[in-house]
Amino acid sequence: MTIHSSKHQDDVDKNARSSYFNLPALDISVAFPQATPASKFPPCASDYYQFDDLLTSEEQAVRMKVRECMEKEIAPIMVEYWEKAEFPFHVIPKLGALRVAGGTIKGYGCPGHSVTGAAIAIAEIARVDASCSTFILVHSSLAMLTIALCGSEEQKQKYLPSLAQLNTIACWALTEPAYGSDASALNTTATKVEGGWILEGQKRWIGNSTFADVLVIIARNTATNQINGYLVKKDAPGLTVTKIENKIGLRIVQNGDILLKKVFVPDEDRLPGINSFQDTSKVRLLCSKFL
């Protein structure tokens, strides 16, 4: 009988594990030949409540434009990216061309859709892929809406036009490792210093954060104990974002753990309209219309 030392067994396990993890993404058509390929996305054939009749011609046009793009461009590749848990960055220009980011926001290069038009666009995206709609919702309905509702005129002019075209991407960071549903108790701090603020703390589960150009960070003002909002650039010294791996749902959404270590934010990047937790709730309430 051969007896392996525990060290040898560890090596065997490690080798077995690493070869398993290095396998290429599953080829769905080979592994599950009975499955319907995503490239043959089922047609949208029924309208039981004659919902279409309730839409204006503009809303119907938005719906068809988004549907066509999602079925043609996105459906065929989503399974592959789901398997890899990666984001298909090459589709961002196609989503940008749909002019849905910014939803109901008027001016600043945003589409200014009706609430129904904006919601129907998100519903069409979610029909094909829920990760894709989460990407747009976080970017548009959380981050862009926060800037539109709570930003200064200069901030709106500076950030919204390129966010609307998806030339730059945003995320919105409220949740923390110790505070999710009870987010009003959050721990991340903002301390006033000359010319700006110092942010310290952690955020968790933040969608788009691994590649966002602009991060909306919600933090507690150490002088007032109230909640404030800040715009942090992706290359800010002291900012680290780590991708959360091994999710079982919404695998294409790139969720990140954010670490803020003495991150300096200049005064002009504090959102003047967020002075309490209720102010962040205004955005979340509006956003819930699209969820």
Ligand X SMILES: Cc1cc2nc3c(=O)[nH]c(=O)nc-3n(C[C@H](O)[C@H](O)[C@H](O)COP(=O)(O)OP(=O)(O)OC[C@H]3O[C@@H](n4cnc5c(N)ncnc54)[C@H](O)[C@@H]3O)c2cc1C
Residues near ligand X, by CB under 6 A: 138, 171-175, 180-181, 205-207, 250, 253, 255
Residue whose CB is less far from ligand X, 62 or 274 = 274
Residue whose CB is less far from ligand X, 62 or 253 = 253
CA dihedral 232, 236, 242, 244 (to 10 degrees): 10
CA distance 273 to 163: 19
Residue whose CB is less far from ligand X, 71 or 290 = 290
Residue 222 beta carbon to ligand X: minimum distance, rounded to whole angstroms: 21
The alpha-helical segments, DSSP class H, found in 33-168 are 57-69, 75-84, 92-97, 115-128, 130-136, 145-150, 153-164
Structure tokens at 259: 């670490």
Residue 85 beta carbon to ligand X: minimum distance, rounded to whole angstroms: 12
CA distance 267 to 27: 51
Residue whose CB is less far from ligand X, 62 or 100 = 100
CA distance 133 to 254: 13
Residue 202 beta carbon to ligand X: minimum distance, rounded to whole angstroms: 12
CA distance 73 to 196: 44
Residue 170 beta carbon to ligand X: minimum distance, rounded to whole angstroms: 10
Please say whether the beta carbons of 155 and 114 come within 8 A.
Answer: no
Residue 214 beta carbon to ligand X: minimum distance, rounded to whole angstroms: 13
Residue whose CB is less far from ligand X, 102 or 207 = 207
Residue type at position 146: T
Which single residue brings its beta carbon nearest to ligand X?
180
Give the count of beta carbons closer than 10 Å to the beta carbon of residue 126: 18
Long-range contacts of 6-10 (CB under 8 A, 24+ apart): none
Residue whose CB is less far from ligand X, 62 or 144 = 144
Residue 217 beta carbon to ligand X: minimum distance, rounded to whole angstroms: 10
